[in-house]
């Protein structure tokens, strides 16, 4: 089998909306930072994973958009 011709398939990048950011903020207030799997159960994050939530939370913290 020639593995050089196998391409990795990735989903296209999904933008984070204001609404999704609000869901994330509410989820962190309810369950605490780090409980990404519990937060995922509360809201529909359009197929995002716990790792994606963690990464977005770090961006929000870094840009002072959490408050």
Mean pLDDT of 12-23: 92
Mean pLDDT of 32-51: 96
Domains for the chain: give ranges and CATH numbers.
Answer: 16-62 (1.10.10.60)
Residue 14 pLDDT: 86
- 7 or 12: which leads in pLDDT: 12
Mean pLDDT of 16-31: 97
Contact at 8 Å (CB) between 28 and 45?
no
How many percent of the chain have pLDDT more than 70? Answer: 88
Element (H, E) at 45: none
pLDDT at 12 exceeding the cut of 70: yes
């Amino acid at each position: 089998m020639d593995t050089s011709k196998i391409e990795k398939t990735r989903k296209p990048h999904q933008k984070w909306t204001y609404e999704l950011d609000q869901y994330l903020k509410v989820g962190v207030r309810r369950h605490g930072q780090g409980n990404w799997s519990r937060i995922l159960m509360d809201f529909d994050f359009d197929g995002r994973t716990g790792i994606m939530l963690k990464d977005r939370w770090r961006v929000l913290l870094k840009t002072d958009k959490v408050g």
